[in-house]
Amino acid sequence: MIFIQHAEIRTIANGTLQHASILLQDGKIKEIGSDLEPLAGAQVINGAGKVVTPGLIDVHTHLGIFEEAVGPAGVDVNELTNPATPHLRALDAINPHEQGFIDAVQAGVTTVQVMPGSGNVIGGEMVVLKTHGSVVDEMVLLSPSGLKIAFGENPKRVYGGKDKLPSTRMGIAAVLRENLVKAQNYRNKWEKAPADPEKLPERDLKMEILVKVLKREIPVRAHAHRADDIATALRIAEEFQFELTIEHCTEGHKIPQWISSKGVRVAVGPTMSNRSKIELGDKGWHTLTALADYDVPFSITTDHPVVPIETLITAAAYAVADGLDEELAWEAITLNAAKHLQVEDRVGSLEAGKDADVVIWNGDPLDFRTKVETTIIDGKVVYQR
């Protein structure tokens, strides 16, 4: 049981409280208010002069499957042997002891989505995790949290270099449609199958995950930088009626009204990276403000390790400096991010009943000089500066 008192508490969902307290009990947020008293036996933390926020959330990372300082042995992010690998599971390749998770908790990032890379048209399942633990199974918040697909230069480069389909944007769309149609046929076959177990169709792990997509049990998360790739992703989602989020959305500022009309959520970033390929030529913080103008719900991501996980708060600060409303910036790394991942009932804001994922800062978190003093996940201190 932890009691933080006399702090500035930014709840995200219900505004900011001054000189307030928060009680964490049994891994949950028990109470928040200005007139609370510590319970007997509680660990009391003096929050005077401190800022308390929810744990930060990065919706698009490769933590644990693209390890730092390891080299090829730690790169398990892309299975580049077939452009369609929906049956892969990021969960099976995550090393929870890699440095990136340590950096995350030290930077106040308490929840992440880990996904396969974008070398394949269909990359595989992703998972939402807390960022502290010894066994990845104990860190899982939601699994599977979506299916990764990719448009644009990455699949073109990988398979075009092998003289295989897809080597064009047409080919990428064709591979995706072909597999979705196979999944439709597979679903129909199972729905019409007799009850006799001996007469059931043979299971196909690739098709099973795609059937979950067609039944809208999990969303598809589409790597798409260019405006035309974003439009293709939206077109195919409407064609097959699956739930979609746009990941990266680098040129989203070129078609914000179109994106808004489709009612999808987007993850923007890693804007702090360099312009390493043609798809990133027009990247900038203006994407966020353009999406905001059309009420497109967005999150901010580092795409770790493309940009290190500890810069998530820095990206939000840069966005505010470039004109993004500060409240929207905070939501983009907390509550909107939780909604993007469909875990807002557990994390993303400081509210009674939610998970006790809390960060104590020694000043304004959007000031580059500010440090994380304490990170708490599920009511346990996992980092103390």
Annotate the chain with three-state secondary structure. Answer: CEEEEEEEEECCCCCEEEEEEEEEECCEEEEEECCCCCCCCCEEEECCCCEEEECEEEEEECCCCECCCCCHHHECCCCCCCCECCCCEHHHHCCCCCHHHHHHHHCCEEEEEECCCCCCCEEEEEEEEECCCCCHHHHEEEEEEEEEEECCHHHHHHHHCCCCCCCCHHHHHHHHHHHHHHHHHHHHHHHCCCCCHHHCCCCCHHHHHHHHHHCCCCCEEEEECCHHHHHHHHHHHHHHCCCEEEEECCCHHHCHHHHHHHCCEEEECCCCCCCCCHHHCCCCCHHHHHHHHCCCCEEECCCCCCCCHHHHHHHHHHHHHCCCCHHHHHHHCCHHHHHHHCCCCCCCCCCCCCECCEEEECCCCCCCCCCEEEEEECCEEEEEC
Same domain assignment for residues 14 and 101: no
Same domain assignment for residues 282 and 154: yes
| 196 pLDDT higher than 90 | no
| 160 pLDDT higher than 90 | yes
| 195 pLDDT higher than 90 | no
Same domain assignment for residues 20 and 94: no
Same domain assignment for residues 180 and 301: yes
Q: 135 has which bridge partners?
A: none
Residue 366: its pLDDT value, please? 98
Residue 23: its pLDDT value, please? 98
Q: Quick check: 112 and 131 in contact, CB under 8 A?
A: yes
Same domain assignment for residues 5 and 95: no
Number of domains in the chain: 2
Instruction: Residue 46: give the domain boundaries.
Output: 1-54+349-385
pLDDT grade for 13, boundaries at 50, 70 and 90: very high
pLDDT digits 0-9 by tens, 26-55? 999 999 999 899 999 999 999 999 999 999
pLDDT digits 0-9 by tens, 253-295? 999 999 999 999 999 999 999 999 999 999 999 999 999 999 9
Mean of all residue pLDDT scores within the chain:
97
Q: What is the CATH number of the domain that holds 309?
A: 3.20.20.140
Same domain assignment for residues 366 and 230: no
Average pLDDT over residues 75-99: 97
| 297 pLDDT higher than 90 | yes
Same domain assignment for residues 279 and 227: yes
Least trusted range by pLDDT, from 192-196, 295-299, 333-337: 192-196
Least trusted range by pLDDT, from 61-65, 69-73, 204-208, 245-249: 69-73
Q: Quick check: 384 and 373 in contact, CB under 8 A?
A: yes
Same domain assignment for residues 181 and 328: yes
Q: Which residue has 């999944």 as its token pair?
A: 183
Residue 378: its pLDDT value, please? 98
Same domain assignment for residues 199 and 254: yes
Same domain assignment for residues 163 and 93: yes
Q: Of 308, 336, 347, whose CA–CA distance to 55 is shortest?
A: 347
Same domain assignment for residues 93 and 241: yes
Q: What is the CATH number of the domain that holds 23?
A: 2.30.40.10
Residue 69: its pLDDT value, please? 87
Q: Name the burial class of residue 68, with classes exposed (0-12), middle (13-18) and buried (19+) by CB atoms within 10 angstroms of its CB.
A: middle
Please tell me whether the overall predicted TM-score, pTM, comes out greater than 0.85 for this model: yes
Average pLDDT over residues 224-238: 98
User: Percent of the chain, pLDDT > 70?
Assistant: 100
Same domain assignment for residues 203 and 67: yes
**CB environment 150-170: b (16+ within 10 A), e (fewer):** bbbbbbbebbeeeeebbbebe
Residue 194: its pLDDT value, please? 85
Q: Of 115, 122, 114, whose CA–CA distance to 80 is shortest?
A: 122
pLDDT digits 0-9 by tens, 336-377? 999 999 999 999 999 999 999 999 999 999 999 999 999 999
| 135 pLDDT higher than 90 | yes
A 10 A CB-CB count for 243 gives 16
* HSE, side-chain direction, 13 A CA sphere, residue 298: 33
